[in-house]
Amino acid sequence: MKLFVLNGPNLNMLGIREPDIYGAQTYSDLEKFVRNVCEREDIEVEVFQSNHEGVLVDTIQSAYGNADGIVINPAAYTHTSVAILDALKAVALPTVEVHLSDVSQREDFRQISYPAMACLEQIKGLGFQGYEKAILLLKEHLAKTI
Ligand code: DQA
């Protein structure tokens, strides 16, 4: 079982950016956390981060034939990107959307998620644990389908 874990813009600034919202841990801590969960669960993983919408679209497309599922935190592109939604629909892989913060309790403009329309579930407000929940959810889902 192989997963792609994709992170969008400004998540490379974790630990520096708005620590009151996103916490003190860094992007490299997040990457380690994800790798540890996957190792424990015997899942192969590739972890990506990009600040660029087109690169995220390219990476989603490259998951086709190379991954069984996707965990994605599209960050700000969540609220704007039909291109990311279309890419997820194109590859049609089981996908879970994750947000570190609870977007439902934040600004109005964060209340829309385009990628969520192509996702099994949206997990929000659990910090790094949200990624663990998403990975376990995909593992359970894929165990039934592959
Ligand atoms: C975020 C929430 C988004 O609204 C925001 O633009 C981000 C991070 C989160 O993980 O909580 O960059 O996706």
Q: Whose CA is nearest to atom 9 of ligand 1?
A: 99
What one-character-per-residue DSSP string does 117-129 give?
A: GG-SEEEES-TTH
**pLDDT value at position 146?**
67
**Pairing relationship of beta strands 2-7 and 44-49 according to DSSP bridges:** parallel
When pLDDT is cut at 50, 70 and 90, the band that residue 25 belongs to is: very high
**pLDDT value at position 145?**
86
Fold classified for 2-145? Rossmann fold (3.40.50)
Residue of 7, 96, 103 to mutate, ligand 1, most atoms within 8 A of C-beta: 103
What are the domain boundaries of the chain?
A: 2-145
**Ligand 1 mean position, distance from CA 126 (Å):** 12
Report field, pTM of the whole predicted structure over 0.85 = yes
**Ligand 1 mean position, distance from CA 101 (Å):** 7
First to last CA, the chain: 9
